[in-house]
Chains A and B, each alone.
Chain A
């Protein structure tokens, strides 16, 4: 699976959160990162090039700070000029059909405010309806968004957990089950540790992978037995 990550942020160098996440995926081959404000400083987006990239990827992710319940202006402009009836979607075009589409949002307000009764009153799912409609209109499957609330206030361990969820959003098959997450993690461990380094650490990682897989088999077997007991 190849992922196209379209990032929009008017001042990305100064954004600690954007840098934190983007730095972590520099060497991830299957993710193509496009920061719109760097590529198009004058705002003259090349629709043909963008459409070519869309065609080449299976999952499209928009990453941006959630400004006034929407994206920065260049990402809106990107949508206006790149998503073209008859080219990217519509009865005569299936370019985007069947691809996956999702959002990674950096949000400055705390999560509890995004609900009826909170200071923002609406949930993120309600406020991102235009993006859901975009996916629907172009035939793409909308993925649950990754909402990163108040990144600057997170503890180190929370940041690490969030980074894992970010990598999963970019490279893991859609689904949150233990089986899907375990398979993704084993693959990531094998690619990160076992191919590059030659050290004692490798043995520990190999052993951990073995136990992860063994546990997963135990869970699978227990599930089968439970099913048989409960539905004989």
Chain B
């Protein structure tokens, strides 16, 4: 998580110092993609926890 925050900030610095519009667009897309991946990982980890602790599995 800390690594993600760090890279998002570093990308923001590159975003702010570049004058190339297409590069800015790509940097924003990278930040958005990193956030989307993090959300997906978080959701999947929660889903896994929920499945493991499901009462349906207690009888196994």
Chain A partners chain B: yes
Interface 1/0 per residue, A181-224 and B, CB below 8 Å: 11001001100110000000100110110011001101100110
- Please state if B37 and A205 are interface contacts (CB–CB under 8 Å): no
- Please state if A230 and B51 are interface contacts (CB–CB under 8 Å): yes
Cα A230 to Cα B51 in complex, Å, equals: 7
Cα A230 to Cα B37 in complex, Å, equals: 22
- Please state if B44 and A222 are interface contacts (CB–CB under 8 Å): yes
- Please state if A205 and B14 are interface contacts (CB–CB under 8 Å): yes
- Please state if A211 and B7 are interface contacts (CB–CB under 8 Å): yes
Q: What B residues does A208 contact at CB under 8 A?
A: 7, 10-11, 30, 34
Cα A215 to Cα B36 in complex, Å, equals: 10
- Please state if A222 and B7 are interface contacts (CB–CB under 8 Å): no
Minimum C-beta distance from B32 to chain A (A): 8
Q: What A residues does B3 contact at CB under 8 A?
A: 211
Name the residue on A nearest B51 (C-beta): A229
How many of chain B's residues touch chain A, expressed as a range?
20 to 34
Contact stretch, chosen from A3-11, A49-57, A82-90, A156-164: A156-164
Question: A204-B10, A211-B3, A211-B7 in contact; A226/B25 too (CB < 8 A)?
Answer: no
Minimum C-beta distance from A191 to chain B (A): 10
- Please state if A216 and B14 are interface contacts (CB–CB under 8 Å): no
- Please state if A181 and B48 are interface contacts (CB–CB under 8 Å): no
Cα A211 to Cα B17 in complex, Å, equals: 22
Query: What residues make up the interface of B, taking CB atoms closer than 8 Å to A?
Result: 3-4, 7, 10-11, 13-14, 17-18, 21-26, 28-30, 32-34, 36-38, 40-41, 44-45, 47-48, 51-52
Query: What residues make up the interface of A, taking CB atoms closer than 8 Å to B?
Result: 24, 157, 160-161, 163-164, 178, 181-182, 185, 188-189, 192-193, 201, 204-205, 207-208, 211-212, 215-216, 218-219, 222-223, 225-226, 229-230
